[in-house]
A and B are shown apart, each in its own frame.
Chain A
């Protein structure tokens, strides 16, 4: 089902953490948890962190809208400009636009990302959101929590928590970005870029 060619040559797949059907079920559960915790969707806004967080957020929005039968505002956050390693990284991702076409003041914002690891991306995302407005709360939903936090960050909704070692990498593949749905545990590439 998973082809080696999608990964760089020196990366070995160690395990499939979530398969295609599992991913669908996990997202459905997360959508229900979000609605339950917030007693509906009337004050919710779903904001995904580029790139795969945004894709997951979009799917969560669809699920929540189907369940609650009402529109939920959806936005995309680009955190490149807020990274703490912006000038240290050898290879920078391109700066892309943040696209949040509504006012987040007084809303309950669900921040969505694919993998929660050190917590540095979440820290950057929180700063970026605070610069845009003053939501009444920010909750964090992640597909995979792989541990090894370097900052005091705790997710509110977790698809799957997996203990990993530092030498491993969690790779989330999504239909919209990668032509398939699954989460893999792979060996970290030898050459760190």
Chain B
């Protein structure tokens, strides 16, 4: 039942069969979270290091919970309280942690490619929890799980990813995964926040939010990082909201049911209005719950990799 790769670095090149395996396993694991004792002994004796070089609340907690629900031992590392401050290189940090006998590393870093780099300098299984503007595979997997729960399938469904596509690893992984699963993807946002060549991943570009809404079955609304405005990529928060903000008015004009997703944390009133975020169409909190289940599935499926060749 193992996956075709021994690490999860991104969704680029990951076959549909692997994605289906992860989502099916996650669905089987999800009911464990509601049990009186929400814990299974599967990863007893496995030590996982959560290596976070960038601030994160949701993803780190979600991974840590997933590890604990599976009875793994966990160690948390955050760059602000570590020897990285004293000038230690990434390679040395990882080699030292590995020398303490660990099995898996969950890594987040501001530089793209760090998870891949780690696979070159350790024997541990590496899971990418977000690298720079490159990929955030478990976020895309939990998004796909939540949509599949809602629809039963992803094939032929239309998902619009709205906002700062250029700086978003969530968009990167989502486009790759959704296209593999046979869904159609439109990316929509200001020209200054649209990366060149995004079509090569299989997405269609739109600069008109109302067109994108009219087309879509679901909107995945990305977080606008406020520092991008300081960098002059869009004129003002108010203008962004006016041009691309998801409001009740805009959705009502489409005259159909549209699912609303957001990877969090939300800037309420900027990329997404509060009444939309909290409406029945929003599956944002389902995404958070499914995040734990998806991460459990990834941990379980990668844990037996030493000998697995299924």
Q: Is B1 an interface residue (CB 8 A)?
A: yes
Among B27, B28, B303, which residue has its beta carbon within 8 angstroms of that of A87? Answer: B303
Report Cα–Cα, A96/B297, bound state, in Å. Answer: 11
Q: Which of B21, B28, B42, B300 contacts A97 (CB 8 A)?
A: B28
B280-310, CB under 8 A of A: which get 1 and which 0? 0000000000000000010010011011111
Q: Whole-angstrom distance between the alpha carbons of A98 and B28 in the complex?
A: 7
Check B40–A90 contact: CB distance below 8 A: no
Residue on A nearest B28 in the bound complex, by CB: A97
Chain B residues near A86 (CB-CB < 8 A):
42, 303-304
Instruction: Report whether B40 and A131 are in contact in the complex, using a CB–CB cutoff of 8 Å.
Output: yes
Contacts of A81 in B (CB 8 A): 29, 40-42, 70, 300
- Interface size class on chain A is 20 to 34
A90 partner residues in chain B, CB cutoff 8 A: 307-310
Complex CA distance for A184 and B73, rounded to whole angstroms: 43
Asked whether any CB of chain B lies closer than 8 Å to the CB of A92, the reply is: yes
> Within the complex, what minimum Cβ distance (angstroms) separates B46 from chain A?
8
A133: CB under 8 A from chain B? yes
| Structural contact, A133 and B1, CB atoms closer than 8 A | no
Prevailing SS type, chain B contact patch:
loop
Residues of A within 8 A of B24 (CB): 94
A131 touches B37 (CB 8 A): yes
A131 near B42 (CB under 8 angstroms)? no
Task: Say whether B35 contacts A131, CB under 8 Å.
Answer: yes
A92 to B302, CA, bound (A): 12
B27 touches A92 (CB 8 A): no
Q: Once the chains bind, are A82 and B307 in contact (CB under 8 Å)?
A: no
A132 in contact (CB, < 8 A): yes
A131 close to B28 (CB less than 8 A): no
Whether a CB of chain A sits under 8 angstroms from the CB of B31 is: yes
Chain A residues whose CB sits within 8 angstroms of the CB of B274 once the complex forms? none
Decide: A97 and B27 in contact? CB cutoff 8 A: yes
- Chain A's closest residue to B29 (CB) is A95
Q: In the bound complex, do residue A97 and residue B31 qualify as a contact, i.e. CB atoms below 8 Å apart?
A: yes
Q: How far does the alpha carbon of A92 sit from the alpha carbon of B309 in the complex, in Å?
A: 10
Shortest beta-carbon distance, B134 to chain A, in Å?
Answer: 29
The 8 A CB mask of B26-58 against A (1 = contact, 0 = none) is 011101000111011110001000000000000
- B2 contacts the other chain (CB 8 A): yes
**B101, chain A: closest CB distance, angstroms:** 16
Does B25 count as interface, using CB distance less than 8 angstroms? yes
0/1 interface trace, chain A 74-96, chain B, CB 8 Å (1 if under): 00001001100011111111111
Q: How far is the CB of B30 from chain A (nearest CB, A)?
A: 8
With a CB–CB cut-off of 8 A, which chain B residues contact A133? 36
Q: Are B40 and A82 in contact (CB under 8 A)?
A: yes
Nearest A-chain residue to B310, judged by Cβ: A91
Inter-chain contact A94/B21, CB cutoff 8 Å: yes
- Pick the contact of A88: B27, B29, B35, B307 (CB < 8 A): B307
Q: Are B36 and A95 in contact (CB under 8 A)?
A: no
Give residues of chain B (133-151) contacting chain A, Cβ–Cβ below 8 Å: none
- With A90-B308, A95-B1 known, 11 other A-B pairs at CB within 8 A are A86-B304, A87-B46, A87-B306, A88-B307, A91-B1, A93-B1, A95-B29, A97-B31, A131-B39, A132-B37, A133-B36
A-contacting residues of B (Cβ < 8 Å)?
1-2, 21, 24-25, 27-29, 31, 35-37, 39-42, 46, 70, 297, 300, 303-304, 306-310
Give me the 5 closest cross-chain CB pairs, A-B, nearest first: A97-B28, A92-B1, A81-B40, A81-B42, A87-B304
Q: Would you mind naming 29 contact pairs between A and B with Cβ atoms under 8 Å apart?
A: A81-B42, A81-B300, A86-B303, A86-B304, A87-B306, A88-B307, A89-B304, A90-B307, A90-B310, A91-B310, A92-B1, A92-B2, A92-B304, A93-B1, A94-B21, A94-B24, A94-B28, A95-B28, A95-B29, A95-B297, A95-B300, A97-B27, A97-B31, A98-B31, A128-B40, A131-B37, A131-B39, A131-B40, A133-B36
